Amino acid sequence: MKKYVSFFCVRFFSGLQYRMAAVTALTTQFIWGLMECLAYKALLESDAIAFPMEYSALVSYVWLKEAFFALFNTWASDNDIFNLIIDGGIAYELCRPVSIYNMWFSRNVGGRVAQAALRCAPILIGASLLPGPYKMGTPTSLFAGFLFLFTMLMALGVTVSFCMVVYMLCFFTISPQGFRMLFMGGVEFLSGSVIPLPFIPQPYRNIIEAMPFASMHNVPFRIYSGDLSGNAMVIAIALQVFWFVILILIGNLICKKAEHRIVVQGG
């Protein structure tokens, strides 16, 4: 276990070195978040009856999404892993006396946490200082705050374990670009990163909420804002745990199969 903690720490402290990139990113995300709040405000005033969320809950959702963007985004995957598969560097990884799956998992988590750590605090502080309806609120209760932290960890686990499945599938292709375009693009929409899932029509939303993608952005941010509660919240948390376990099992199964038939394409 200590070796995987070490992999996490190496990637985490390495990620903390990119401070200027983080400053640029958080500036972009703060402006984008404010634009989203203004756009939804215009939508609310044009047709308040059709608005599926309380505006205050939506504002909190938007700011949390922007603050923790690096933690849950899937399209900005770990390029180092793809490069290892493409250029033959995977041969060196196989020489390590560790599990490839666990090593890459810990690295991925470390990189995401590092990026989020550099960006989240300034965005959250700035959002909490905004005037009027654009100000980010606090959790609806202490219990909701606790559940928010728990579901954030589970959402990170689901996100990383899903990305690990994509990495493992790339062992069976000449180029990973096809899998990246196929899986990563749609996930952003289905996870609630583009628009919150309550804005999707009910028949389609029922299907989407049963998928693993809804266990990413959707659950913790809606719990924090108070938009998700009661039985619906319990079901959502149970689905998070379910998909985390299932994706871990699928990823490990594919990894074991891949290790028995790896073809080094370069190097």
Q: What is the pLDDT of residues 107-125, one digit of tens each?
A: 888 888 888 888 888 888 8
Mean pLDDT, residues 256-264 taken together: 71
Show the CA angle centred on residue 146, arms to residues 144 and 148, nearest 5°. Answer: 70
Place of tokens 């959402």: 155
Gap between the Cα atoms of 14 and 8, Å rounded: 10
Report whether 228 contacts 199 (CB < 8 A). Answer: no
What confidence score (pLDDT) does residue 189 get? 83
- The candidate with the shortest Cα–Cα distance to 130, out of 199, 220, 192, 62, is 62
Assess if residue 267 is contained within a domain: no
Could you tell me the pLDDT band of residue 242, with boundaries at 50, 70 and 90? very high
Q: Residue 203 pLDDT more than 70?
A: yes
Gap between the Cα atoms of 15 and 203, Å rounded: 41
Sign of CA dihedral 195, 196, 201, 204: positive
Assess if residue 247 is contained within a domain: yes
Q: For the chain, what's the residue count? A: 267
Assess if residue 266 is contained within a domain: no
- The 10s digit of each residue's pLDDT in 121-165 is 888 888 888 888 888 988 888 898 999 999 999 999 999 999 888
Question: What's the domain count of the chain?
Answer: 1
Assess if residue 264 is contained within a domain: no
Place of tokens 């985490």: 12
Domain span at residue 97?
2-259
Q: Residue 267 pLDDT more than 50?
A: no
Q: Which pair of tokens denotes residue 13?
A: 């402290």
More reliable by pLDDT, 102 or 238 = 238
Beta-carbon contacts of 240 under 8 Å, excluding residues fewer than 6 positions away, are 151, 154, 155, 158, 215, 219
What confidence score (pLDDT) does residue 13 get? 75
Q: Which pair of tokens denotes residue 35?
A: 């634009």
- The 10s digit of each residue's pLDDT in 164-180 is 888 888 777 766 676 67
Q: Residue 249 pLDDT more than 70?
A: yes
